[in-house]
Amino acid sequence: MSNKSEVIATENLIKTKKRSQGADVWRRLKKSPTAMIGLGIIILFLFMAVFAPMIADYDDEAIKMNIKERLQPPSSTHVFGTDEFGRDIFARIVWGTRISLFVGLISVSIALSIGGFLGAIAGYYGGRLDNAIMRVLDVLLAIPTILLAITIVAALGASVLNLMIAVGVSNIPGFARVVRAAVLSVKDEEFIEAARAIGANDFIIITRHVLPNSMAPIIVFATLKVASSIMGISSLSFIGLGVQPPTPEWGGMLASGRAYIRDYMYIVMFPGLAIVFAVLSLNLIGDGLRDALDPKLK
Amino acid sequence: MSEVILQVKNLKKYFDTPRGKLHAVDDINFSIEKGKTLGLVGESGCGKSTTGRVILRLLEATEGEVFYEGVNINELDYEGMRKLRKEMQIIFQDPFSSLDPRMTVSEIIEEPIKLNKIITDPKERFERVLELMDLVGLSRRLMNTYPHELDGGRRQRIGIARALALNTKFIVCDEPVSALDVSIQAQILNLLKELQRKLGLTYIFITHDLSVVNHFSDDIAVMYLGKLIEKAPAERLFTNPIHPYTKALLSAIPRPTLDKKVEKIILKGEITSPINPENNCRFSDRCNHAQDICRASEPPLEEVFPGHFVACHLFKE
Amino acid sequence: MSDKLLKIEDLVVHYITDDGVVEAVNGVNIGVDRGKTLGLVGETGAGKTTTALSIMRLIPHPPGKIVSGSIELEGTDLLSLKESRLEKIRGDVVSMIFQDPMTALNPVITVGDQIAEAIMIHQKVGQSKAAQKAREMLEIVGIPGNRAGEYPHQFSGGMKQRVVIAIALSCNPKLLIADEPTTALDVTIQAQVLELMKNLKDKFQMGMVLITHDLGVVAEVCDDVAIMYAGRIVEQGTLEEVFNTVKHPYTEGLFNSIPNIDDRRDKLKPIRGLMSDPYNLPKGCSFYDRCDYAMPVCETQKPPKIHFGETHFVECHLYQEQQDFKLNGGKE
């Protein structure tokens, strides 16, 4: 009888007591003002990306040329002014957010899944496999990221999809290295051996024990890489290899606006600021996460 | 004579290092009877932990055989080994690194049951986890805590519960108490002893601390640099040690008492490297009694009294 | 009273963390005489190391904070000294040996240079003089002087601990604080190092605070013993007093927890439960919930200090009424 009531009591406890480690990280992250500023900015961008259709009409304001209203300075109708084709710069930045964040996230996901997989098996199995994988990636790493991306886009042709592939592939070696290092630091822990002793196979050990315990550096690296991917996308678009006009993209806006920089500097200033804030906020979050995820700072 | 559960024959484990072959375990033989405890004693680097891991095939043996209930486990395939792992378990030294920090107490204890599909019904499995927690003296309210929120003694109890979650008959205890405070040490030792009595477990108890195995073991085997140098029933080993190293080891333990001071044997030097050892008595360079013969050839392990084995040239003379 | 080298009075140290205040040291009084060794015994979290670090004023701050009390070294109050004066004392008058010899040495500097460095900081001697002294120190701790040019990784654990001892003793300190100096070593090596420390203690005539959890080590090296529990000294006396006439139930529990190597049949009797949560120490005696002799008064009131003779005292309610109360040795 008393035994049964204890079982019920413990079942209740499951719901109340299970304080996840995510909550711990969040508690520590909240203490960093810079990370919170970064988080605020990025939430604003995300909001713009999700609700873009309600903020500005894509066809009407961001795409359609309107020569009558070209090169207007910021005003109440056009908060950020209009560009050389009379398009509303604010609307284009809002829609550009979608492209930048989406391409940034997807390309990092590509790099994370392929690089992460290669890094995990290289780190876990070690030996010759490790050598083979890492040496091939070292060759890739020797080529500057942006140059590699340019080469890939040049070979595949300029499109949003190819842009994602290019930025993603060029980030693979970096992710492989980070994941490999994280796996190496975990794989010799005794709980891995304990898992083997209870009959777990390699797949279970890697997915249930090794990877969850190496997440911290990977999350930090991924956050920082989204930022640098946004830079990469803008750079490629700036030199004409990325998103093609008239699709609104921050780097592309900079490129087309730079002819007017002397007289109408707001045309390049606002997309420039958008890039700066997006990259800065992600870097601030990344640094904050690095501290929050470090259990030694508890 | 009761039934032998585990027999180790000419077991060798060498590691390749840049400076040569490291003879971690070098040709050792012993056997354990069901329900008994063998204490495997030695200082760091003597190969005792490697022995424990080779027996469980967490490391592959270089040479030699390990028979568990008559089956040569070195010849088993992955599936066969997986079946055997339900009976052979290990308890680790470090209660901090041997538990996955991202899993809760109940998840850790549940994992082996789930993995080996012992109980498939989640509700029954949950009952079993609670039962195991009771068995090792872990309060049920701790089930959703994470290991880092608990002290060393409780963490070690989690490790013990995990080892018992399957149909465990045989456990390698690798220094299970050396990371714990003395008062907690005694709690865990008593728990292990009680579990042995209740469940009829067989233990290999690996430790550097002779006073711990004294309470615990039926037989004690002393290792030095990969070699088994003396093996005897515990009672006999403590009262009648023969090998000079065993004697020194026994005398070196600081005793918490002011009366009956034991004469200390202070050894010279430190453990030498087990890389490419020469063919001599491996203890000869530290031994206070070493003779020419000790430096010239390796003494074999011989039975000098019934059940008492020793590997020393000097005893014969 | 004999001449006191070190006197700590009513020391209180707190760690202030996000989760609350840890009362790590809670009113500790200890003294060390010149040339004598005090064993500070206790389990993890008892506050031994915090007490030792307070002597050198090395408590990490924040979160640590010496709240009150005084620490006098030969009559000088260390807690009121300026940081620059303290730096002169550290390593010169007071030295410290840490538990882990593997991390106490700088891996990229030769052991000879590490010893010489310690000498040159505190004594006005030239490089060659210091190097020569370093070699002498190595010889004293039993390492051939010609190994001075080698790097720490070329030494084994026991040898490294000898080097650490050589560094600690290089300036003839008056007080040596040794924090678990042999815990990381093998038994036969521990025996060697303990032997060495005993000899050096006599040779250098220094006072020593030996922090350990091992009563066996205490029996071999110490003159006086202080048993620490939850930030307080619960029993203190000379080695003979504490070992032969155990007064505090916790001390008794410690002795009963140690497997007796010379008697197999002796049953282990562990102390039940765990040390109280340092964030939330009980109102009365900290040992109350683990004590076999607990009385109602123990739960609500802090135990008084009861003296037995000049040097032996215990903090326990049991002796309040009857001075001649006897512990029953754990046998029911």
Q: Which of C113, C124, C51, C122 is nearest to C86 (CA)?
A: C122
Beta-carbon contacts of residue C294 (< 8 Å; ≥ 6 apart): C285, C288
Contact A17 B92 (CB under 8 A): no
The domain locations on chain A are 55-284
Q: Does B187 touch chain C (CB under 8 A)?
A: yes
Neighbouring-strand partners of residue C15:
C22, C64
Helix ranges (H only) for A188-214 are 190-197, 202-204, 211-213
**Residue B119 exposure: Cα atoms within 13 Å on the Cβ side:** 17
Q: Does B166 touch chain A (CB under 8 A)?
A: yes
Q: In C, residues 156-185, which contact B (CB 8 Å cutoff)?
A: 156-159
B141 — pLDDT class (breaks 50, 70, 90): confident
Considering only CB atoms, C243 lies closest to which of B44, B151, B257, namely B257
Cα C231 versus chain centre, distance: 13
Q: Does A188 touch chain B (CB under 8 A)?
A: no
Q: Which of B160, B43, B179, B211 is nearest to C43 (CA)?
A: B179
Chain B residues whose beta carbon lies within 8 Å of the beta carbon of residue A197: 56, 58, 85, 89-90
* Spatial contact of B104 and B145, defined as CB atoms under 8 Å apart: yes
Considering only CB atoms, A199 lies closest to which of B85, B97, B100, namely B85
Contact B152 C44 (CB under 8 A): yes
* Spatial contact of B285 and B269, defined as CB atoms under 8 Å apart: yes
Contacting chains of B (3 CB pairs or more, <8 Å) are A, C
Contact B255 C262 (CB under 8 A): yes
Q: How confident is the model at residue A4, as a pLDDT?
A: 41
DSSP states of C155-216 as a string?
S-HHHHHHHHHHHHHTT--SEEEEESTTTTS-HHHHHHHHHHHHHHHHHHT-EEEEEES-HH
Contact B58 A197 (CB under 8 A): yes
Q: What is the pLDDT of residues B46-85, one digit of tens each?
A: 889 999 999 999 999 999 999 999 899 988 888 888 888 9
Chain C residues whose beta carbon lies within 8 Å of the beta carbon of residue B250: 261
Burial of C126 (0-12, 13-18, 19+ CB in 10 A): exposed
Considering only CB atoms, A6 lies closest to which of B112, B140, B162, namely B140
Cis geometry, peptide bond prior to residue A144 (ω within 30 degrees of 0) = no
Q: Provide the token pair at B256.
A: 């918490």
Which residue, chain included where needed, has tokens 């006191």?
Answer: C4
Q: How confident is the model at residue A19, as a pLDDT?
A: 53
Beta-carbon contacts of residue B249 (< 8 Å; ≥ 6 apart): B41, B43, B210, B222, C187, C188
Chain B residues whose beta carbon lies within 8 Å of the beta carbon of residue A207: none
* Spatial contact of B212 and B189, defined as CB atoms under 8 Å apart: yes
Q: Does C194 touch chain B (CB under 8 A)?
A: yes
Shortest distance, CA B182 to any CA of chain C (angstroms): 6
Chain C residues whose beta carbon lies within 8 Å of the beta carbon of residue B95: none
Strands ordered across the beta sheet of B227-233: B88-91, B170-174, B202-207, B37-41, B219-224, B227-233, B308-310, B302-305
Q: Is the pLDDT of residue B317 over 80?
A: no
Distance CA C56, CA C306 (A): 30
Q: What is the pLDDT of residues B189-243, one digit of tens each?
A: 989 999 999 999 999 999 988 888 887 889 999 999 999 999 999 889 988 899 9
Chain C residues whose beta carbon lies within 8 Å of the beta carbon of residue B260: 262
Residue ranges, chain C, pLDDT below 50: 1, 330-332
Report the mean per-residue pLDDT for chain B.
Answer: 88
* Spatial contact of C268 and C231, defined as CB atoms under 8 Å apart: no
* Spatial contact of A151 and A134, defined as CB atoms under 8 Å apart: no
Contact B250 C158 (CB under 8 A): no
Amino acid at B245: Y
Chain B residues whose beta carbon lies within 8 Å of the beta carbon of residue A196: 58
Q: Does B269 touch chain C (CB under 8 A)?
A: no
Q: In B, residues 81-110, which contact C (CB 8 Å cutoff)?
A: none
Q: In B, residues 212-241, which contact C (CB 8 Å cutoff)?
A: 212, 214-215, 234-235, 238
Residues A270-275: contacts with CB under 8 Å, at least 24 apart: A270/A80, A270/A81, A270/A89, A270/A90, A270/A93, A271/A89, A271/A92, A271/A93, A271/A96, A274/A93, A274/A96, A274/A97, A274/A100, A274/A250, A275/A100, A275/A230, A275/A231, A275/A234, A275/A250, A275/A251
Distance CA B248, CA A189 (A): 33
Q: Which of C7, B114, C199, C121 is nearest to C134 (CA)?
A: C121
Considering only CB atoms, B98 lies closest to which of A7, A191, A204, namely A191
Q: Does A21 touch chain B (CB under 8 A)?
A: yes
Contact B215 C259 (CB under 8 A): yes
CB atoms within 10 A of CB A87: 23
Burial of C331 (0-12, 13-18, 19+ CB in 10 A): exposed
Tell me how far apart the terminal alpha carbons of chain A are, to the nearest angstrom: 41
Contact B256 C219 (CB under 8 A): yes
Shortest distance, CA A13 to any CA of chain B (angstroms): 7
Beta-carbon contacts of residue B134 (< 8 Å; ≥ 6 apart): B140
| DSSP three-state, residue A163 | helix
Chain B residues whose beta carbon lies within 8 Å of the beta carbon of residue C100: none
Tell me how far apart the terminal alpha carbons of chain B are, to the nearest angstrom: 32
Contact B252 C217 (CB under 8 A): no
Distance CA C70, CA C13 (A): 11
Chain C residues whose beta carbon lies within 8 Å of the beta carbon of residue B271: 156, 186
Chain A residues whose beta carbon lies within 8 Å of the beta carbon of residue B115: 198-200, 204
Distance CA C287, CA C202 (A): 37
CB atoms within 10 A of CB A186: 19
DSSP states of B8-52 as a string?
EEEEEEEEEETTEEEEEEEEEEEEEETT-EEEEE--TTSSHHHHH
Contact A193 B82 (CB under 8 A): no
Shortest distance, CA A198 to any CA of chain B (angstroms): 6
Q: Provide the token pair at B173.
A: 């205890």
Q: How confident is the model at residue A295, as a pLDDT?
A: 56
Distance CA A268, CA A258 (A): 6
**Residue C294 exposure: Cα atoms within 13 Å on the Cβ side:** 17
Neighbouring-strand partners of residue B223:
B228
Q: How confident is the model at residue A17, as a pLDDT?
A: 45
User: Could you give the C-alpha distances from C147 to A8, B289, C132, C152, C159, in angstroms and in order?
Assistant: 67, 27, 12, 10, 11
Q: Which of A252, A207, A217 is nearest to A233 (CA)?
A: A252
Taken in order of first residue, the domains within chain B and their CATH numbers are: 4-87+169-316 (3.40.50.300), 105-165 (no CATH)
Chain A residues whose beta carbon lies within 8 Å of the beta carbon of residue B102: 21, 212-213
Q: What is the pLDDT of residues C24-72, one digit of tens each?
A: 888 888 888 888 899 999 888 888 888 888 888 888 877 888 888 888 8
Q: Provide the token pair at A68.
A: 């009558």
Best mutation target among B148, B156, B270, B288 (most C Cβ atoms within 10 Å) is B270
Task: Kindly state the percentage of chain B with pLDDT values over 70.
Answer: 98
Global confidence as pTM: 0.82
Q: How confident is the model at residue C332, as a pLDDT?
A: 36
CATH number of A55-284: 2.60.120.10, 1.10.3720.10, 1.10.10.10, 3.30.1950.10? Answer: 1.10.3720.10
Q: Compute φ and ψ for C199, nearest 5 degrees.
A: -65, -45
> Block means of pLDDT (10 residues each) for chain A, length 298 residues?
40 45 80 92 92 82 78 81 84 89 92 94 92 92 87 87 89 93 89 90 90 88 91 88 84 86 87 92 90 64
Chain C residues whose beta carbon lies within 8 Å of the beta carbon of residue B181: 43-44, 213
Contact A199 B144 (CB under 8 A): no
User: Could you give the C-alpha distances from C109 to C114, C143, C154, in angstroms and in order?
Assistant: 7, 17, 12
Distance CA A17, CA A23 (A): 12
Helix ranges (H only) for C9-55 are 48-55
Q: Provide the token pair at C124.
A: 């006005």
Q: What is the pLDDT of residues A260-274, one digit of tens each?
A: 888 888 888 999 999
DSSP states of B51-110 as a string?
HHHHHTTSS--SEEEEEETTEEGGG--HHHHHHHTTTEEEE-S-TTTSS-TTS-HHHHHH
Chain B residues whose beta carbon lies within 8 Å of the beta carbon of residue A14: 143-144
Beta-carbon contacts of residue B67 (< 8 Å; ≥ 6 apart): B6, B7, B8, B9, B73
Shortest distance, CA B208 to any CA of chain C (angstroms): 8
Q: How big is the B-C interface in CB pairs under 8 Å?
A: 123
Distance CA B193, CA C120 (A): 56
Beta-carbon contacts of residue B244 (< 8 Å; ≥ 6 apart): B265, B283, B287, B288, B289, B312, B314
Contacting chains of A (3 CB pairs or more, <8 Å) are B
Distance CA A141, CA C120 (A): 48
Considering only CB atoms, C257 lies closest to which of B185, B253, B254, namely B185
Q: Which helix (H) or strand (E) holds C67?
A: strand C64-73
Q: Which of B43, B52, B44 is nearest to B210 (CA)?
A: B43
